[in-house]
Structure 1
Amino acid sequence: MSDVERKTAVVTGASGGIGAATARALAAAGYHVVVTARRLDRLEALAKEIGGTARTLDVTDRPAVDAFGAWFAEEFGASSSLSVLVNNAGGAIGTETVAAGDPEDWRTMYEVNVLGTLHVTQVLMPRLIASGDGVVVILSSVAGLVPYEGGGGYVAAKHAEHSMAGTLRLELLGEPVRVVEIAPGMVQSEGFAVTRFRGDETAAAKVYAGVPDPLTSEDVAETVAWAVTRPPHVNIDLLVVRPRAQAAAHKVLRITE
């Protein structure tokens, strides 16, 4: 079966962590995966590994997202459809209180988590509808369901993503598109905590110190692949996935010697 004939998936933020793991899981499930992010060298290596296609993309840049949509049409055919869109690009910055938070950090988190998801979803929605069984996946977070101290900007952005998923599902009723929200808890994924702590790897490591078996990127990726491969009439509205060691965002088991 040629790449054009195979079901196609697009994964944003696929240069590492959950995005890269999700691309591998979808490729293993039989999809031709278009991997996008800003780091082309990583994307090209991943695309070669999984037999997919790499394309640089900054989801916060609407003209760039529009250009990506035009490129997709040219690359896969003007009438080609899209089976799965995984909105994974996102991230957290800082641990300051709401009172002490930097508005620019909040703006950055909102633009990548919320507006980035909006841009890509809007541009690719016609192709998802045309597939006859499209799936939009929004990788939110348990932070989008329950607030916690020191996470104000990220919590606000992820609450917005959660609301977007619910609203989109209502608005698409009657269209052949499912909207799936996956909300991970503690995941020890590449770079997430380091970015949050502004490059301080020691502080990032403390997040997971003593926690027995936090989730891995592969755990989340397998969850995504399972959700999108359910029969067309089955929609996984919201799936919260946490490690056994995490009962809630604020209650985590830590084992000390």
Structure 2
Amino acid sequence: MKKVVVLTGAGISAGSGLQTFRDAGGLWEGYNVYDVATPEAWQRNPEMVQEFYNQRRKAVLEAKPNAAHIALAGLEAGYDVTVITQNIDDLHERAGSSHTVHLHGIITRSQSSKDPRLTYPIDGWELKMGELCELGSQLRPHVVWFGEAVPMIETAARIAAEADIFMVIGTSLQVYPAAGLTDVVPVRAEKILIDPVVPGIDHIPELRVIQQPAVTGVPAIVRELLDRND
């Protein structure tokens, strides 16, 4: 069974109503990302950061997987599929994808402020100040902020290096280290980009570009790939 590795970004969740950074000129729901998505922001004003992510979590829980998420889950009928996502929502899992690697964490979990390896599920949308980890430190969102290490990047690179087909969906390939995954994909692999905004991609040889939103482009390419196996 051929191995499909999919790198997804915010564009795939835009079809579920979740706003992206790039659509708002560096703002996210009216906030400058550096005021709510850095360790320094957490040190300055943890209450504001906590409330920001509570509202984002509420939006994620109210959102539903769209046609692109569902199509990717359906691709498992004919392929060994791993989704590597930059997104912090759980829409891939809720759509039915069996193997999802979250590069930037997942908003439905919390983590210790003292030891990021300690993570916990969140019941509902609200994580409150005063909720502590087993070490006695405040729980924060299980999200990789700007300036923090990306602990799953090595795992993701190993997976990308085994791809027979590598798909990039809904990302501008501007955020590192995730964008660097394209460098480890085998030369022989088929490479497909699906996004309405095509970034500077001259460094990726033999890349097939489908300039469409994920909600239309992904179901179409999934049907094509499954038809190959008939």
Same-fold call, TM cutoff 0.5: no
* Smaller-chain TM-score bracket: 0.3 to 0.5
Which has the larger helix fraction?
1
TM-score, normalisation: structure 2: 0.44
